[in-house]
Each structure stands twice: as C-alpha cells, then as structure tokens.
Structure 1
Amino acid sequence: MTDAPFGQAAEIETTDVDVATDALRHFYVAADLDPVGDTAVMMQMKALQLPMVTVGSVGFGVDIEIRAEDVTAYYIDAPLSGSAMNRWRDGESLHTTAGAVAVFTPGTPCQLDWSADCDQLCVKVDESQMRSQLEAMLNRTVYQRITFDRHFDLESAAARDWYYLVRLLGRQAWQPGGLLNHPLAVGNLQLLLIQGLLQMQHHNFADALSARDSPAGAAVTKRAIDLMNADPQKPWTTAQLASATGVSARALQRAFDRSGHPSPMAYLRRLRLERVHAELLSHSPDSATVTTVATRWGFLHLGRFAGQYRQQYGQSPSHTLRLGGRPHRPSLAPGAGAVEPTPG
C-alpha cells in the first residue's frame, strides 16, 4: 500500500476505504465511496500525473457506489473488465462494459455504480487544458464551458484509433523505459488524446470547429514550415502551428494543400524521418537500436514507422543502421519525397 500524501505517481493496493478515498481525490476526483454490503474494498489503482493529463487504472474489488458532487475536470472512463452504471443529476444514465467509453464534463455531479470485477482505464484532463487546446484549434478565445456528449461512439475507424491511444497511454504509464519516458512521445500522445477527443466527440463547439475559415496564403505555409524545421523535435500539432501562424487549424491545412505540400503533420513526419535517417547513419548496431532512435523522434508504432521509412528511403531502418558511420548516403526511393528546403 502506498501511504498518503501521494506524489505524481502511485501504485496503490488497500483495503482501507479512507486511503482509497484519499487516493481517488488526489489523482482524480473528490468522491464518497460506499461499498455495497459488508465486504471491504480491495482497491488496486495505478495513476500517473503527466503535464496535460492524468492516466491510470482503478478497481475496487467490490460492488461499490461512487458519488461525485464536485466534478472539476474532464474524465474518460473505459472499463477493461466488469461493468459500470453512470448516472448524472439531470437524469441521463449510461451503462458501460469493456470496449465502451463514458465522457464526463466539469460541473456535472454523478453517481457511479461499479461491479466488483470492474477495472477501468481512467483519464483526467483539467478544464484549463481542454479549453487551451480548443482555443488553439479555433484560433480564438473560448469563454463558455466545453460540454461533451457523454457516450463516446466507437463505430468509426478514427474513434477506434483514438480508443487505442487511450489504451496505449494506460499501458505505457507503468512500463520502465516505455514511451512515456521520452518527452517527444509523451507530448504527442497527450495532444493526440485531447485534440482527438475535441475533433471526434460531439460538443457545443463542434460546429465552430467544422466552420469554414478565411483562406490562408503561401506566407502562412512558409512560416509553419520554418517553425517545424527550426525545432522538429517539439511536439507540434496542427493546432499549435496554426496558432503560431495566426490562422485556424483548418485554414492551415488548406493552405498546405494549395501549396502542393503534404499536410502539416505529414510534412513534420518526413522531417523527423530525415532526422532518424541521419542518426541511424551516425551510429552502429553496437551503439544504438532502431527502436530507441525512432521512439526518440516520436514514432510510436514501429511497424508503421518501418513502412514509412522504407517508402522514403527505399530500405529498412535496420539496414541503414548496419551501414554504421559510412559516408555513403542512400538515395531516396523513386517517387519518395524528401522534405523540401524552405525558400529563402
């Protein structure tokens, strides 16, 4: 059992309902825990506070009622096993089991009834962080609270990819030497989760995100390209680049399309592939691994990375690494586009 007060990360096992309550309050939400019957709680909780989100898993080992009156953040609850009945003060309810996702908005008191075998992946996003990301995507100030629909529909491929990302964050939170030990990877994962939620889950600003914007010119594209070339390891997103160039994310995407460039994120991927390529050429298999280098540059799906690398360079990343420090630099595969130099 981890004793309170807790730090930024904790792995907790306790049969003390007061300790369980304190742990839940510290990492997620202030709530009253009321085990059903006379059985004591058997809480198992892993939680990690990252710069933008808190991620982990929670289970109580007993049928339990959780009452949260003061909901101050956004929560994503995804059962890994068992079931949960989520009830809100306004009368709406949602039953979730493995493979389903519930989304909670600040200012919405709720009661949660978890089965004894319910183990949930839980993600928390502070309201200020959610608003900041929406403002970057809209390129304007947001004054109203962002209110999400409570049931996250996993029917589309994009939604399932987002759900996979949530699961990935939960798994990586407790892997020594995992992705969350790399600043670029952890920054990308958090932004993808928050911005993906804003793009795919319906909320009261969804129409504003879908609205057309004034066209952005070639100067905006050049400025975004300059920013990526100056700091390719920064966890850029389209929204951040748009904010830095003074346009909306959609306007920036259309500006790249009109200029003949790939999308901003595809451009950034090519740029990072160049950095990976250069780094692999400067090492040997004795001094580096493809996984280490690729992860450092934000490539989280190694199979997909290997395919993208081969498409750009006509060889596998492991082949490049075996070349060691040789001066020869392989040519790009026919039709593969390197990152174009930024015009002066």
Structure 2
Amino acid sequence: MPISDVAFSSSPQVQTGDADEASDILSRVYLPLVLRPTGAEALDMHMRAEELSMLTAGYVHFGTEVFIGSDEMPVYCVEAPLSGVARNIWRDGRVERTTVGTAAVLTPGMPVNLNWSSDCREICVKVSETQMRTQLETMLGRSVDRRITFARKMNLNTRASYDWFGLVRTLAREAGRTNGLLTHRLAVDNLQRQLVEGLLLIQPHNYSEELAAEQRPAGEAAVKRAVDLMHAHPEISWDTAGLAHATGVTARALQKAFQRYGHPPPMTCLRRIRLERVHTELIDSDSGATTVTAVAGRWGFVHLGRFADQYRKQFGHSPSATLRGTVMNKAATPR
C-alpha cells in the first residue's frame, strides 16, 4: 500500500474544492499563503495533519495543478513529495524542482512561490522558528543571534536523511491512533525532538560547522552526574543536550566525555536503562491485560522492530517471551 494511502490516516482530515477555503485552512495549519488552482481539473484538496507540541506534520494533495505563494515564510517547513513534482521558485530567481527522494526546506523570512503538479502528493513538516532556535541553542550550549538558514534542497537518499525521513514515516503511521505509540508522552516527545535535532544535524545550515567542531570533553564528574540523572529519572524526556544543560557542559563535550571514560553514548545508556524498566514491567504484567507495544511506548520506544532487536540483544530473548512468562531466568541482564 502506498504511504500516501496511510500517511496520517488517523489524524484530523479536511477535504474541500473551494480555493478560498483551502487557502484559509492551509494558512491556519501551516503558514499564511495564497492558493490558486491552475490546472484543468477541479480542485479537490485532501489534507490530514497532526499538530503536536513541537511541530506540525501532515499529508496534502490538491487533485489539480496549483500555485501557492507566500510573501514571507514565518516558519521552517520540509516538503517531501510522495509523488508528482513541486517547483519552488525563490524570490532571488533560483528554481528548485523536488520529486520523490528529495525535499524542499523552507526558511523563515524567505519569500517563495510553489507550483505543484496535479499528481503531487506531499508530506509537510512545520517547525516554528522559536522551537528550531531553542533546540540549536541547547545543542550548542549557547544563545544564537543569527537566523538559522538551511540549504534549500534535501537529498533523501543518503543514509542519514533516509533514517531521518524514517522518523517522519513513523509519525505519519502513528499520529492520531487511539492506542498508538504517540499516545505515550515519552514516545511523542522523543520522536519530535529527534526530528528537530536530526534536521539540524543532517541538513546544511549556517551553524553546521560549529555543530561539527571539536570541543574539549567534560570531566568525569559530569558523566557520573548525567548517568545518575538517567537512572533516577528515566521517565524524563532526556536528550544529550538536555543532560548536558543539567550538568553544566555542552552536548558535544558530554558526548566526548562519555567516550573518554569508557561509556557508550548518553542516549545508548538511557536506552539500556529504559529497556531494564521495560523488562521489569513485562515480568510484573499480565499478558492478558497489557501488550509489549503499550509498555514499549510508555518508555519512549517508537520503532518496534528496532526495539525488539535491542531488547533481545540486552536480555537474550524477545519481549513477548518475557511477557508470556516463558523465560526460565527472569533476572535482568547486568548493564
């Protein structure tokens, strides 16, 4: 089944053939714009979108060729075609053509006109300027005074960008589901943060060199403090930047300190701690009253296949075997 058939299928849906109504809906959900049908077919906009605390993401198609104009982008948007062609015409005269396997990255303050083909179907991810800046400042460990300006086109066929878009696909599948993974706070927080942080890491921008620069590692005391925090409060939506802030160092310095003192990366440590919590909860649960998916989601795991592999490597058996009580030795494997 094509992803367009299931993308955000459980999220709020809108359908309209009225151009003014379509412009108004898109302006409220994404950004102020003007929409004008330019094709021979009648406008038939379908939109499914999920508005979360850190970002908005959704699926859109119009059923005909359209022109979309925005005088000044107020937010960051990543627009990834699932079919068809989108032409992005920038005010400086540059034109970018995006198809399957590529995405347009729109930066605040940048006027843009877009032309979508009649068969163009896109997933669109919106992040506010405040949210993007806050995440970058946390990663750098300092305030930033210049607008973050991304390269305008993303290649989704590299390993890093493919993995990043895999997170988008997870969001598209799970958003709005009554009993889905994103009903769990840790899971939805982790997914959103990984999307914003991942974009800052994989897509070139005017702070990329600083993010990649070598930094002096923190001391062993910062590592111990970070590990203690994760053990004491694994239910908090930690990321490396948040742990670094709590220990008074930068994210890069904390990562290097973990490596220097023989620890796996901070998020690997956190994952192992949370896997232990999952293991304990599965042991104590009734297989008729709960599911592996529900327990995994409560502890922030959103990719179930990867979770099952990680669980099996840590404990030597599957999470479902633990829940069913078919494991002879139920003691957790030492860290």
Calculate the TM-score normalised by the size of structure 1. Answer: 0.90
Verify the 8 A CA contact 2:101 2:157 in the aligned structure 1.
no
Verify the 8 A CA contact 1:121 1:167 in the aligned structure 2.
no
Runs (4 or more) in structure 1 with deviation over 4 Å come to none
Q: String of CA shifts for 1:102-155, please: whole Å, max 9, x gaps.
A: 100001100000011111100000000000000000000011000000111234
Distance in 2 separating the partners of 1:37 and 1:213: 54
Counterpart AA for 1:221: V
Q: Does 1:330 align with 2:334?
A: no
2:259 to 254, 257, 260: 257
Distance in 1 separating the partners of 2:55 and 2:201: 17
Distance in 2 separating the partners of 1:112 and 1:234: 40
2:122 to 120, 123, 143: 120
1:295 counterpart residue number: 297
Shift of 1:247: 1.5
2:162 to 149, 155, 160: 160
Distance in 2 separating the partners of 1:171 and 1:255: 37
Q: Does 1:150 align with 2:128?
A: no
1:236 counterpart residue number: 238
Distance in 2 separating the partners of 1:192 and 1:93: 30
Q: Does 1:21 align with 2:17?
A: no
Distance in 2 separating the partners of 1:120 and 1:201: 19
Shift of 1:296: 1.5
Counterpart AA for 1:167: R
Q: Does 1:41 align with 2:43?
A: yes
Q: 1:1-344 alignment to 2 at 5 Å?
A: 10-37=12-39, 39-323=41-325, 329-330=330-331, 332=333, 337-338=334-335
Percent of pairs with identical residues: 52
Counterpart AA for 1:104: L
Over 3 Å counting, the alpha-carbon distance change for 1:37 and 1:160 in structure 2 is: closer
Deviating more after overlay: 312-321 vs 265-274: 312-321
Verify the 8 A CA contact 1:242 1:248 in the aligned structure 2.
yes
Q: Secondary structure at the match of 1:185?
A: helix
Q: String of CA shifts for 1:74-126, please: whole Å, max 9, x gaps.
A: 00000111111111111222111122111000011000000111111000000
Unaligned runs of 5+ in 2: 1-10
Counterpart AA for 2:289: S
Verify the 8 A CA contact 2:80 2:104 in the aligned structure 1.
yes
Shift of 1:44: 0.4
Shift of 1:331: 5.3
Q: Secondary structure at the match of 1:107?
A: coil
Verify the 8 A CA contact 2:170 2:302 in the aligned structure 1.
no
Verify the 8 A CA contact 1:49 1:55 in the aligned structure 2.
yes
Unaligned runs of 5+ in 1: 1-8, 339-344
2:3 counterpart residue number: none
Distance in 1 separating the partners of 2:51 and 2:227: 32
Verify the 8 A CA contact 2:182 2:297 in the aligned structure 1.
no
Distance in 2 separating the partners of 1:318 and 1:177: 18
Tell which has more relative contact order, 1 or 2 (C-alpha 8 A, sep 6+).
2
Counterpart AA for 2:278: V
Verify the 8 A CA contact 2:45 2:62 in the aligned structure 1.
yes
Counterpart AA for 2:331: P
1:341 counterpart residue number: none
Verify the 8 A CA contact 2:150 2:204 in the aligned structure 1.
yes
Deviating more after overlay: 310-319 vs 120-129: 310-319
Shift of 1:210: 1.2
Give the paired residue count: 325
Q: String of CA shifts for 1:292-314, please: whole Å, max 9, x gaps.
A: 11121112222221221122112
Counterpart AA for 1:329: K
Q: Secondary structure at the match of 1:51?
A: coil
Distance in 2 separating the partners of 1:174 and 1:102: 25
Over 3 Å counting, the alpha-carbon distance change for 1:51 and 1:193 in structure 2 is: same
Distance in 2 separating the partners of 1:271 and 1:196: 23
Deviating more after overlay: 286-295 vs 187-196: 286-295
Shift of 1:38: 5.9
Q: Secondary structure at the match of 1:75?
A: strand
Distance in 2 separating the partners of 1:121 and 1:166: 9
Shift of 1:15: 0.8
